[in-house]
Structure 1
Amino acid sequence: MGFSEERSADVVAASFAGAADPRLRQVLSSLVRHLHDFVKEVDLTDEEWAAGIGFLTRTGQTCTDVRQEFILLSDVLGVSMLVETVNHRTGGVATESTVLGPFHQVRSPDRRLGDDINLDGKGVPCLVSGRVTGPDGTALPGARVDVWQTNEDGFYDVQQPGVQPAGNLRGLFTTDEQGRYWFRSAVPRYYPIPADGPVGELLTATGRHPYRPAHLHFIVSAPGHRPVTTHVFVADSPYLDSDAVFGVKESLIRDVPEVDDPARAAATGMANPFRALTFDITLLRGDAHEGPA
């Protein structure tokens, strides 16, 4: 069967017939069909295709050990959120997932419950706490709670080596016998995603801003349960309705009120009054390799 505009996708898809992995054959065949339909739908020109290849080439060249521009591209196109949503359907009984983001590039330092992850003391002090449970409300002792966030200037530690202490505003905690976790940090604030590369050019060309609302990242896991990658968003933050990476879900928004409680402040090592963010997390039963529920 010869190649033609009408038969192009069929011809290329047929070339995958010998693939030993049926899933690989399915994914590549579908990708080719959608890609060829796109080219035909917009009557893509030679110059536009070359520009697209150039853009993707520069995207790859921008990647480093601490910056993943392709993840950023996936984020701003909404693909990261779609993949997360498809693969982590909760049925309304577990904490919803959201994007990993491009800056979970290092292992978070092990911390003890109550530790202060705000190593340079900048920003508004905040007590972060919550409980990890299964879908029936059963506490999950020994759950791992991995957290990370930007500093008050909107940068992760890996973006500012020599400026921020290594491991600043990151921590890996283990819940107690009641499934509880707590630590000291700073109130998250909104910030722009890196806009000095190809993804920034795309946002500028399409009239979009680069900002994310204030949030704290979480990856939570426990034996016998499916892990969740998620955020908690600050309720009064700008950009909740226009997150550059489409990561906001209503169920993940929390107030961060001021607390005037000298006894609690003393017990947790906070100055009184202080801000507090409470985020309880519910995990589905299963394991990391299970598909959508």
Structure 2
Amino acid sequence: MNTDFVKTEAVQTLLDRATGKDAEGGNPRLKAITRDLLEAVMETIVKHDISESEFWQAVNFLQQSAGEFGLIVPGTGIEHFLDLYMDAKDAEAGLTGGTPRTIEGPLYVAGAPLVEGEADLSVDPDDTDTLYMSGKVVGPDGEPVKDAIVHVWHANSKGWYSHFDPTGEQTPFNNRRRIKLGPDGQYSFRSKMPNGYSVPPEGATDKLMQALGRHGNRPAHVHFFIEAPGYRTLTTQINFGDDPFAADDFAFGTREGLLPVPNRQGDSAYIGFDFQLQRAKAEAEQAFSSRQRLEA
């Protein structure tokens, strides 16, 4: 059947009633967005002749995978699409430059210890190399950004994040810190080398990736939020350029300019990386998104 079926009077009337088009009250923007989403779902059902059983299999999958939405969203490219969309809007507004943004992922934890000077992220022993990372935070003209706070977090050598580690072996806030920078905008930290990881085996994300003929692996990486008065808050991460999954990240977090190759010497690895922020034009640009995050 042709998707024009969705444009018939009966279906259009259903969409209007379902989204409260003529009802008093409610949020007009939400009504319009919900209507477009529902219409797109209906068109997909007709276009692919989705059966009733197939539809309810999809609903069952969504109900069972609620705990993994934080992985499914990046794994299906939606979180990366948001980055591309924000980049396009910036370009349209004439805003260029700065360190590329990229996905946050679902594993940030608010309330990490705030430290100054060189930070040691790793509290727990970990039989792996030591990572040393340093650089500076600058503005669009190369000026040092003072009073910046660098939020940094990453996995351990087994690919587990503290607070999300199913083994329960990690100390709270292991491999997590907030670093308060001085007027020179310099930062430095050391930690135990992180490793990449895969989505939970046989979990909802894994099953979806297998059904799509894809894998669920991420390369070794380090996450960052960088905030400073007068500048846009930056959400980004670096992927290790020598990791075998650096060019095939299931979460699409790899971006040009965010692939440093660690300088490995003996049992140590060194990364030098500078961050460049854009100036904020509105107070909201200095805030974090409304994403729900774990607090500990």
TM-score category of the 2 structures, normalised to the smaller one: 0.7 to 0.9
Q: What is the alpha-carbon distance in structure 1 between the residues aligned to residue 283 and residue 195 of structure 2?
A: 31
How many angstroms apart in 2 are the aligned matches of 1:111 and 1:194? 33
- Asked if 2 retains the 8 angstrom alpha-carbon contact of 1:108 and 1:147, the reply is no
Are the aligned partners of 2:149 and 2:228 in contact in 1 as well (CA < 8 Å)? yes
Look up the match of 2:78: 79
**Cα distance change on mapping 1:193 and 1:111 into 2, 3 Å:** farther
Residues 114-263 of structure 1 mapped to structure 2, 5 A cutoff:
114-122=118-126, 123-160=128-165, 162-258=168-264
- The alpha carbon displacement at 1:206 in A equals 2.2
What is the aligned partner in structure 2 of residue 268 from structure 1?
none
Identity of aligned residues (%): 28
Residues 91-138 of structure 1, C-alpha deviation per residue, up to 9 Å, x if partnerless? Answer: 440111111111114432222321211112322111111211111111
Q: Of residues 7, 10, 14 in structure 1, which corresponds to 2:16?
A: 14
CA distance in 2 between counterparts of 1:101 and 1:227 reads 16
Does the alignment pair 1:56 with 2:62? Answer: yes
Local SS of the residue matching 1:250 = coil
Does the Cα contact within 8 Å between 1:145 and 1:219 map onto a contact in 2? yes
Question: CA 1:227–1:38 in structure 2 vs 1: closer, same or farther (change >3 Å)?
Answer: same
Using the TM superposition, give the Cα deviation of residue 241 of structure 1 relative to its aligned residue in structure 2, in angstroms: 1.9
Amino acid corresponding to residue 134 of structure 2 in structure 1: S
Count of equivalent residues: 269
- State whether residues 190 and 238 of structure 1, in contact with CA within 8 Å, keep that contact through their aligned partners in structure 2: no
2:218·2:245 contact (CA, 8 Å) conserved in 1? Answer: yes
What's the offset of the Cα at 1:9?
A: 5.5
Residues 1:109 and 2:108 are matched in the alignment: no
Query: Following the alignment from structure 1 to structure 2, what is the Cα–Cα distance between the partners of residues 36 and 290?
Result: 36
Contact 2:147–2:182 (Cα < 8 Å) also in 1: yes
1:70 is matched with 69
Aligned residue for 1:280? Answer: 274
What is the aligned partner in structure 2 of residue 66 from structure 1?
Answer: none
- What is the RMSD of the two structures over their aligned residues, measured on CA atoms? 2.2
Three-state SS of the structure 2 residue aligned to 1:158 is coil
Contact 1:189 1:237 in 2 (8 A): no
**1:23 Cα offset (Å):** 2.2
Alignment TM-score, normalising by the size of structure 2: 0.83
How far did residue 88 of structure 1 move?
A: 4.8
* Cα distance, 1:188–1:273 mapped onto 2, change above 3 Å: closer
Name the stretch that deviates more: 116-125 or 11-20: 11-20
Pairwise CA distance, 1:22: 3.2
Distance in 2 separating the partners of 1:25 and 1:226: 31
**Alignment partner for residue 97 of structure 1, among 83, 87, 101?**
101
Point out where structure 1 has 5 or more consecutive residues left out of the alignment.
64-68, 260-271
Report the Cα offset of residue 248 of structure 1: 0.7
- Say whether the 8 Å CA contact 1:9–1:32 is kept in structure 2: no
In the TM superposition, what whole-angstrom CA distance separates every residue of 1:16-69 from its partner, at most 9, and x where no partner exists?
324643321332122122212111111110110110010011012xx2xxxxx1
| 2:269 partner letter | R
For the structure 1 residues 145 and 191, does the alpha-carbon distance in structure 2 shift closer, same or farther, using more than 3 Å as the test?
Answer: same
Corresponding residue for residue 269 of structure 1: none
Matched, 1:289 2:284: yes
User: What is the letter of the counterpart of residue 211 of structure 2?
Assistant: A
Contact 1:216 1:231 (C-alpha < 8 Å) held by counterparts: yes
Task: State how far apart, in whole Å, the 1-side matches of 2:246 and 2:11 are.
Answer: 40
| Distance in structure 1 (CA, Å) of the matches to 2:112 and 2:283 | 19
**Structure 2: unaligned runs, 5 residues or longer:** 287-296
1:259-290 CA-to-partner distances (Å, cap 9, x unmatched) read: 6xxxxxxxxxxxx8732112211111114635
Cα offset, 1:74, TM superposition = 0.7
Whole-Å Cα distance in 1 between the matches of residues 202 and 175 of structure 2? Answer: 24
Query: Cα gap change, 1:207/1:285 in structure 2, threshold over 3 Å: closer, same or farther?
Result: same
Amino acid across the alignment from 2:209: L
Distance in 2 separating the partners of 1:10 and 1:78: 30
